[in-house]
Structure 1
Amino acid sequence: MVTNQQREWLDFAKSVAREAGDIMQEYFGKKPDSHFKANNTIVTVADEEINDLVIKRVTERYPDHDIDGEEASARRGSDYVWVCDPIDGTVPFAMELPVSVFSLALVIDGQPEVGVIYAPFSDHLYWAVRGQGAFMNGKQVYVNKRGFGRMTKMNVDWWPSAQWDVMRVIHELAYEKGAYVTTLGSTTHAAALVARGEFAASVFAGTKGKNVDIAAAKVIVEEAGGKVTDLFGREQRYDQDICGAVLSNGIVHEEIVEAMREL
């Protein structure tokens, strides 16, 4: 049973997600101002406005909690950390491709307790509370139970700091198994599609990555019956940078991480 405190956290996260989605809709298709960050990734004024919104809302509601955002953070030394990616899929967002999502998770002692992913262009709101299942627009969702085969779909996303070896291994594994690989352009959205049974797996390539992309996805995929680890099958904390991620239905997971271990 969801506790009153968990319900409060979840309702808060869903409310912020809706506000963030409104901002994404407002800027979409209008070529918002953008620039490149030091790590060669793009950021738009919409990313920054949503990140600022999250900091404002969390500070108003939970002034003792930390905020870890993609574009800005507010650290107070708390074990309660709201981890936010204001727009996961900034490149497709700037290109007017409607696949980007907002994500927000409450991470406690390094592990996500509550996670929300909102895809405003399809109005799909995904959420999960640890131990209580995963949902999309109020309907419980589950990972699929397919192993590798001709109908298996996987996602792997590339970004400037990703390692080519990881990309190569995933594509070689998919070719060997007869699986279909796509690059959606939003790791978090792909993870939501793992949770609802569309993809068998999604791989967040590279041994150095931001926790903001995976924190909400971890609890949602796991509560849908899936499995989430780093690239090599290990558990990791989500209040700090991560060693990539494999998010799967659990059935194909070991074959993916075994291939990674051979790097």
Structure 2
Amino acid sequence: MDLEHARRLAVEAANDAGTILREGTAGAVGILPKGSGGDVVTALDLAAEKLLIDRIQAEYPAHKIIAEESGVHGAGDWTWLIDPLDGTNNVAIGLPAYVVGLALCEGGRPMLGVVHDPIRRLTWSAIDGRGALGPGGPMPLPPPRDLTNGPVLAWTQGYGVARDDPAVRSIKMTMDVRARRVLQLWAPLLSWAMLARGDIDGMVGYHAEAVDLPAGALIAREAGLEIRDLDGGPFEVSLDCRPDGRSFVAGRPEMVESLLTLIGDARASAAGLPAL
């Protein structure tokens, strides 16, 4: 498998899908409900996803595809994950914060990740073991930021997490107290790109969604960031892991221990939270 060729194809396809999104969001966007949890889908999601599926199937007909909106296509040892519009809820309220995400996995392990920001027309990508690339070329470990007033952290959680989950409530409350800012972007791949380029200091995920996690985590890790599970152990992304296996902290290596301390303190106080 020529991963450099796959990267070029994925980057080109993500850019073209981004053009659909950028031009489509310039006018009225038709919004439809998706499921019973308050999520939405637009015609732009579907159009961008179709473009990505068609490109991948034309080049790799023996590969499996798991797409955010249309589900599973085909079968094979290599699996593409497609999030055609990560940030649909932002688009629905007119907030220009969304990206296109693609990942290619072998045996469940991410080998290639691509994230494209259509608004700024910027793309980030990574191949396992070969480093990350940004708009300016290879991405080194981002420099330390001034943490005098606390870190800027991003939060993401899966759609299946209950609103009254005591662990989530406690972690988010603790983050609010200890961080300078906590971002909840509704677009986790955008948060991963911000972390990889050094715009934010750390990220906490709780039962994250399987489709968008591999691309973002691979880019961040290949840029030198460290990712651990909430118990402090190594964090390995796999398509087969359960939702509770997709909880993590991520940041510069020297930030991770303080994030794990935050998680430990939050867990200790979760039992004392009143019921909602």
Give the TM-score range, shorter chain: 0.7 to 0.9
Which residue does the alignment assign to 2:212? 213
Q: Are positions 1:162 and 2:161 aligned together?
A: yes
Deviation, 1:258, is 4.9
Deviation, 1:146, is 5.2
Q: Is the 8 A contact 2:153 2:179 kept in 1?
A: no
Rg comparison, structure with higher value: 2
Which residue does the alignment assign to 1:222? 221
Deviation, 1:135, is 2.1
**1:1-263 maps to which residues of 2 (within 5 A)?**
5-40=2-37, 41-141=39-139, 142-145=141-144, 149-157=148-156, 161-163=160-162, 164-205=165-206, 207=207, 209-233=208-232, 234-240=234-240, 242=243, 243-260=246-263, 262=267
Gapped runs of 5+ residues in structure 1? none
Deviation, 1:19, is 1.0
Q: Is the 8 A contact 2:115 2:216 kept in 1?
A: yes
Deviation, 1:232, is 4.4
Q: Is the 8 A contact 1:147 1:251 kept in 2?
A: no
Q: Which residue identity does 1:252 align to in structure 2?
A: M
Q: Distance in 1 between matches of 2:146 and 2:238?
A: 28
Bigger mean CA offset, 32-41 vs 227-236: 227-236
Q: Distance in 2 between matches of 1:106 and 1:215?
A: 9
So what's the TM-score if we normalise by structure 1? 0.86
Q: How many residues align?
A: 258
Q: Which residue identity does 2:183 align to in structure 1?
A: T
Q: Is the 8 A contact 1:101 1:120 kept in 2?
A: yes
State the Cα deviation string for residues 101-155 of structure 1 (Å, max 9, x = none). 0010111122211111001101111111112221221333333445965241101
Q: Alpha carbons of 1:60 and 1:178: their partners in 2 closer, same or farther (altered >3 Å)?
A: closer
Q: Alpha carbons of 1:107 and 1:47: their partners in 2 closer, same or farther (altered >3 Å)?
A: same
So what's the TM-score if we normalise by structure 2? 0.83
Q: Is the 8 A contact 1:55 1:74 kept in 2?
A: no
Q: Distance in 2 between matches of 1:237 and 1:171?
A: 23
CA RMSD of aligned residues (A): 2.5
- Report SS of the residue matched to 2:29: coil
Q: Alpha carbons of 1:149 and 1:185: their partners in 2 closer, same or farther (altered >3 Å)?
A: farther
Q: Which residue identity does 1:239 align to in structure 2?
A: L
Q: Is the 8 A contact 1:112 1:215 kept in 2?
A: yes
Q: Distance in 1 between matches of 2:36 and 2:146?
A: 36
The alignment-based identity, stated in percent, is 25
